Amino acid sequence: MIIRAGTVVTMDGPPIENGAVAVSGGRITNVGKFSDISATNSGEQIVDLGEQALLPGLINAHCHLDYTCLRGKIPPPKSFTEWIRAINAEKANLSPEDYIRSINDGFAEAKRFGTTTLANLTGFPELVSRIQPSIRMWWFAELIDVREPSRANEIVDAALEKLKSTERWGLAPHAPFSASAKLYRRCEEIARSEDVPLTTHLAESREEMSMFRDARGPLYEFLKEIGRDMSDCGQRTPLGHFSEILRDSSTSVGMTQNWLVAHLNELVDDDFDLLARSITKFSIVHCPRSHEYFGHSPFQFDKLCEHGFNVCLGTDSLASNDDLSLFAEMRAFQKEFPNVSPEEVLKMVTVNGARALRQETVLGKIRSGFLADLVAVPCARSTSAFEEIVAFDRPVSWSMIGGQVQNSA
């Protein structure tokens, strides 16, 4: 099949005017000018998308489809701890069937907005075998042992059993305040032996900073109340704590490349010294609209990039966001960082997302040999293609995942 479009935005060189992409067996086999591609692939079926921009499918590097059904249920909270209490109260009313519906609705919505790959954290790995994802999906088991830290290894191993049958998976110790050092180390051990990605929430809120650095504040009080051992508080920042628990690991030399760290909003000077010294430059996911909903401290995008970290974007869950559109996420990011070019912003949901999932040789670009995950959006070529793509605010008109057309033009 040959797909022709007014502009092909490859993310692998400048956009190609009157371009085309040849696809066969789920992969991209050729990309270039339509005249060249049609001459070398004569006899192939041609799909002409007209005056549209064809681009790589978008990659959402952090979301929780479990909570798609919680859209609009929790108003922006006064404190992060208040939000945790509110979502726990909502979760008490949900059944496994509700979660399955929620996840399936999430696939449909993400796809409508041009997302073809998702890094999804689920609290219910036991439901994964009952779900057929219609999108390229990484299932991360979200792991929490705050009420039973003695069972850390057991909790990780049970989740592992449920995920191993899926094609793409990873592990997600929830956060240093809800997952023990032992649980983090077990996850890292498994990630090394199974060669899978890891993700976690880190330094998200001011309350997490007060808890770890100063041993006080609402999150500290809340966790103490439910019986967490708080002896690891009052010494280090959340990032300092994270790097310390991994450094202690007998199998670890520090933070590995496997980590996809969500948020990292609360960082002090010492943290930046630590990041500058860190040999491994892990990936960081920023969730602009969830960040705004919570009113976290400004995200230190420029400094993190200067230190060589790979920054990508995610939507987080609909318990702290309005929808699963990465186009809206790109615009929210632009509002925060007007000096970053639209091309750089688009990279964060294509090339950088692929790198975060360690798929940079098959996803995130339109290049021969890459997986045929493509989306199209109208492009009048009145301004730059990148500007038009970032400004796009409707469902995509056409998309393809693994060579299969999903939405028709």
Is the dihedral angle over the CA atoms 97, 102, 103, 104 positive or is it negative?
positive
Nearer to Zn ion, 5 or 58 (CB): 58
Output the smallest distance, CB 320 to Zn ion, in A.
Answer: 8
| Smallest distance from Zn ion to CB 314, Å | 8
Separation of alpha carbons 136 and 134, rounded Å: 7
The DSSP result for 143-202, as a single string, is: E--TT-GGGHHHHHHHHHHHHTTSSSEEEEE--TTTS-HHHHHHHHHHHHHHT--EEEEE
Shortest distance in whole angstroms from residue 42 CB to Zn ion: 49
Output the smallest distance, CB 110 to Zn ion, in A.
15
Residue number of the CB closest to Zn ion reads: 316
Stretch that binds Zn ion, among 3-11, 53-61, 222-230, 313-321 (CB under 5 A): 313-321
- Looking at beta carbons only, is 207 or 316 nearer to Zn ion? 316
Contacts of 348 (CB under 8 A, 6+ apart): 286, 311, 312, 313, 330, 333
Q: How many CB atoms lie within 10 A of CB 126?
A: 15
3-state secondary structure 212-247: HHHCCCHHHHHHHHCCCCCCCCCCCCHHHHHHHHHH
Contact 62, 121 (CB under 8 A): yes
Nearer to Zn ion, 316 or 373 (CB): 316
Which residues in the 240-279 window bind Zn ion by CB under 5 A? none
Q: In the complex, what is the shortest distance from the CB of residue 64 to Zn ion, in angstroms, rounded to a whole number?
A: 6
Q: Which of residues 315-334 bind Zn ion (CB under 5 A)?
A: 316
CA 195 to chain centre: 18
Least Å from the CB of residue 264 to Zn ion: 12
Parallel/antiparallel/unpaired status of strands 374-378 and 52-56: antiparallel
Site string for Zn ion, 277-306 (x = CB under 5 A): ------------------------------
Stretch of residues binding Zn ion (CB under 5 A), selected from 6-14, 308-316, 323-331, 386-394: 308-316
- Read off the tokens for 91: 């979760």
User: Among 92-100, 145-153, 302-310, 311-319, which window interacts with Zn ion (CB under 5 A)?
Assistant: 311-319
Nearer to Zn ion, 84 or 223 (CB): 84
Q: Are 285 and 62 in contact (CB under 8 A)?
A: yes
Q: Which is nearer to Zn ion, 222 or 392 (CB)?
A: 222
Rounded to 5°, angle at Cα 326 from 176 and 355: 60
Amino acid at 312: C
Q: Toward Zn ion, which CB reaches closer, 311 or 401?
A: 311
State the nearest-atom distance from the C-beta of 100 to Zn ion, in Å: 20
Task: Between 66 and 316, name the residue whose CB sits nearer to Zn ion.
Answer: 316
Rounded least distance, CB 34 to Zn ion, Å: 42
Distance between CA 38 and CA 1 in Å, rounded?
10
Q: Which stretch binds Zn ion (CB under 5 A): 48-56, 158-166, 218-226, 310-318?
A: 310-318
Segment interacting with Zn ion, rule: CB under 5 A, options 3-11, 135-143, 166-174, 312-320: 312-320
Footprint on this chain of Zn ion (rule: CB under 5 A): 316
